[in-house]
Amino acid sequence: MLLTVMASYVWAQDPVLKAPGAVSAGQSVKLAVQGHGSATFYLVGPDRVLKRKISLGEEIEIAAEDLKTAGKYEAIACNGGNCSNTQFNVLPSQPAQLIFFLHPSRVPVSSGNAVNATALVLDREKNVVWSSANVNFKIDLPDGSSSTRAVPTTRGIASFAMDSRSRQGKVQVTASLDDVSEPRVIQQVAAEACGLRMTAAPTGRFMTFQTDPIRDCGGNPLPDGTIVSFTKTDSTGRSTVDSPIKKDRAVARFEVTGPAKVSVACGVVVGNELSLGGAR
């Protein structure tokens, strides 16, 4: 690609620069400089400024390394006090890279629009590719099924939101464009407990309280370590035991010496209440 520079070492005529056509990022440009003698050449770009002495009448090459960043560039030639300038654009080249985000890393099952997938399309020089392209997303679910969807980019970005599925486990979403693909994984976890219930059994002067297997409304077991709170209210006041779920159940023990009420809760879900020393 040639950029013609007309300059005179002895004439009073100003140098003349002609802008090149569109240049792709990472592409070198050759400038044809007409005239005799020497001059100073400047190139002002989005991320750098170049200055060099040039010999009029000799071809000058701007290296690809100096044209990596897409944007507007200004070329300036000065011969003595006479300067001329012109502008040209460096455009992103073909798509070559994807930056892919899948958010959040953990999500409750059966949640509407809870998962967001966003892909950013870049060229080999890491410029955002503004021209429209279709990014393909493949969704692999815990039950082994999969689905795909194609999303066109807008200003280099392709994104969509989807519901989390009803079954807990890993969901892998892979974004791909041509030969480039980027996989990401999120973990679907059980939602809030559903139908929380406990029973009581005496053990000496203590009472042992144990929940039924704790599931969400889709039948997914809540993970071990999830805290369940047991609260006893009697004549002495209130006392609470926080117990982690182990193998689907949570257990707590209270000393009961008179009438008392014991309730159970997990997160925002409240279960049944048992009255001791009276009717259940």
- The residue among 76, 91, 106 that closes a domain is 91
Residue 185 shares a structural domain with residue 223: no
Whichever domain contains 80, its CATH number is 2.60.40.420
Range of the domain at 207: 198-276
Residues 128, 105 share a domain: yes
Write the CATH number for 250.
Answer: 2.60.40.10
Mean pLDDT, contiguous 10-residue spans, the chain (280 residues)? 41 54 86 75 92 82 92 87 82 94 94 96 95 95 92 96 92 95 95 95 89 94 95 94 96 92 95 77
The reply to whether 84 and 114 lie within a common domain is no
Domain identity same for 272 and 213: yes
- Name the one residue in this structure whose structure tokens are 């989390």: 164
Answer positive or negative: Cα dihedral of 219, 223, 224, 225.
negative
Give the chain's domain count: 3
Same domain for 46 and 61?
yes
Q: What is the CATH number for 126?
A: 2.60.40.1930
pLDDT tens string 213-259:
999 998 999 999 999 999 999 998 999 999 999 999 999 999 988 89
99 and 179 share one domain? yes
On whether both 16 and 87 belong to a single domain, the answer is yes
Whether residues 204 and 241 fall in one domain: yes
pLDDT at position 16: 60
User: pTM for the full model?
Assistant: 0.74
